[in-house]
Amino acid sequence: MTRRQFIPLAGIAATASYASIKLQKPPKLPDGPAGNSAVAIVRARSYSEDLVSRMLQGARECGLDARGKRVLLKPNLVEFESSTVINTDATIIAAAVELFHRLGAAEVRIGEGPGHRRDTLDLADDARYRYTIPQFDSIFTDLNRDDVSPVTGFANERKFYFPNTVLGADLIVSLAKMKTHHWAGATLSMKNLFGLVPGAIYGWPKNKLHYIGIPQSVAALSRHFRNTFAIVDGVVGMEGNGPIQGTPKPAGVLVMGRDLVAVDSTCCRIMGIDPEKVEYLRLAADLGHVHPGRIEQRGESIASVQTNFALIEEFSGLRLA
């Protein structure tokens, strides 16, 4: 059979299989843990608002207790392009540092291990972290090059290495950006945990996670790191071809909560994405709540802030009905 003959036949076969998959009802999600999860949606129309007060409001609504804890803030610092909004805004991180000091944390550090770029401090410079966040250099750890220790039981790996700064934290705060993602559909507080994996061991990009599977790795990271809290920067998110080449999309919100699955599900609904169709959320549905009936929405309602994020064709099927 020639390539010219094969391609149409393969196309027909692929279309038929795709159609049969689409017609099948996806398997029911697991019930998730006992009880409901609180997720706060806080309005913040611009980065010049009083973000610390907004975050304090959200933290209280979620019952966050950070007293005496060593807190690691994990922003989403990926690449820099002045024409778009790839990274968690510097003002959000500065406000989070202030928030956790006010909440009585014993220590507040910032850590990130970008997946593509080698020069993390230069990237932080471009993203204005070093100018906006007081004493940034002294509280920041490049997780790509931190000392590491092995853990067992991560994603069926015999041993997997994580930075000591991550393993030593009592509370990891995923300071994610609200973005679409060309592999995962959306990147929010759970996908942001990819930056905890050290590049010096696993490379740039962290290709080991791709071979485990992106949705599987996202779920595995959330399964392993349960001492987490999420603050998603949706003041200005990214739509279209995210997470790098998309376009800015103002949503005017911060989304906060202890249940990262519930936070990401809420973000998806705000973005006009059906969380039950996002594979990593399906895989992690035993860790937290996807179903809206099990999420106690605090602050603003989803309906009052919902704004459809443009999706690339590949993910048009994720659109919330």
Q: Between residue 188 and residue 217, which ones bind another protein under the rule CB under 8 A?
A: 200-205, 207-208, 210-211
By CB under 8 A, name the one of 43, 101, 130, 182 that touches another protein.
182
Residue 151 CB partners (closer than 8 Å, separation 6+):
159, 160, 161, 162, 167, 224
Structure tokens at 75: 């922003």
Question: Is residue 119 near another protein by the rule CB under 8 A?
Answer: yes
Closest distance of CB 203 from another protein, Å? 3
Question: Is residue 121 near another protein by the rule CB under 8 A?
Answer: yes
Question: Is residue 148 near another protein by the rule CB under 8 A?
Answer: yes
Q: Applying CB under 8 A, which part among 112-120, 214-222, 255-263, 295-303 lies near another protein?
A: 112-120
Closest distance of CB 170 from another protein, Å? 23
Q: Tell how far CA 223 is from the center of its chain.
A: 14
Q: Applying CB under 8 A, which part among 62-70, 111-119, 223-231, 266-274 lies near another protein?
A: 111-119
Closest distance of CB 261 from another protein, Å? 26
Closest distance of CB 307 from another protein, Å? 23
Question: Is residue 4 near another protein by the rule CB under 8 A?
Answer: no
Long-range own/partner contacts, residues 30-34 (CB < 8 A, 24 or more apart)? 30/285, 30/286, 32/261, 32/285, 32/286, 32/287, 32/288, 32/289, 32/290, 32/291, 32/294, 33/286, 33/287, 33/288, 33/289
**CB distance 291 to 306 below 8 Å:** no
Alpha carbon distance 38, 52 (integer Å): 20
Q: Applying CB under 8 A, which part among 25-33, 141-149, 168-176, 302-310 lies near another protein?
A: 141-149
Question: Is residue 17 near another protein by the rule CB under 8 A?
Answer: no
Structure tokens at 178: 């609200």
Question: Is residue 7 near another protein by the rule CB under 8 A?
Answer: yes
Q: Applying CB under 8 A, which part among 1-9, 168-176, 277-285, 293-301 lies near another protein?
A: 1-9
Structure tokens at 290: 């996807």
**Which amino acid belongs to residue 35?**
G
The stretches of the chain forming alpha helices (DSSP H) are: 3-23, 51-62, 90-102, 120-126, 129-132, 136-139, 164-167, 199-202, 207-212, 214-224, 260-271, 279-283, 302-305
Closest distance of CB 208 from another protein, Å? 6
Question: Is residue 151 near another protein by the rule CB under 8 A?
Answer: no
Closest distance of CB 76 from another protein, Å? 18
Q: Tell how far CA 163 is from the center of its chain.
A: 19
Closest distance of CB 121 from another protein, Å? 6
Question: Is residue 159 near another protein by the rule CB under 8 A?
Answer: yes
Question: Is residue 247 near another protein by the rule CB under 8 A?
Answer: no
Alpha carbon distance 196, 202 (integer Å): 11
Closest distance of CB 315 from another protein, Å? 10
Secondary structure of 177-214 in HEC code, one letter for each residue = EEEEECCCEEECCCHHHHHHCCHHHHCCCCHHHHHHCH
Interface contacts to another protein, rule CB under 8 A:
3, 6-7, 10, 81, 116-119, 121-122, 125-126, 145, 147-150, 159, 161, 182-183, 200-205, 207-208, 210-211, 241, 244-245, 312, 314
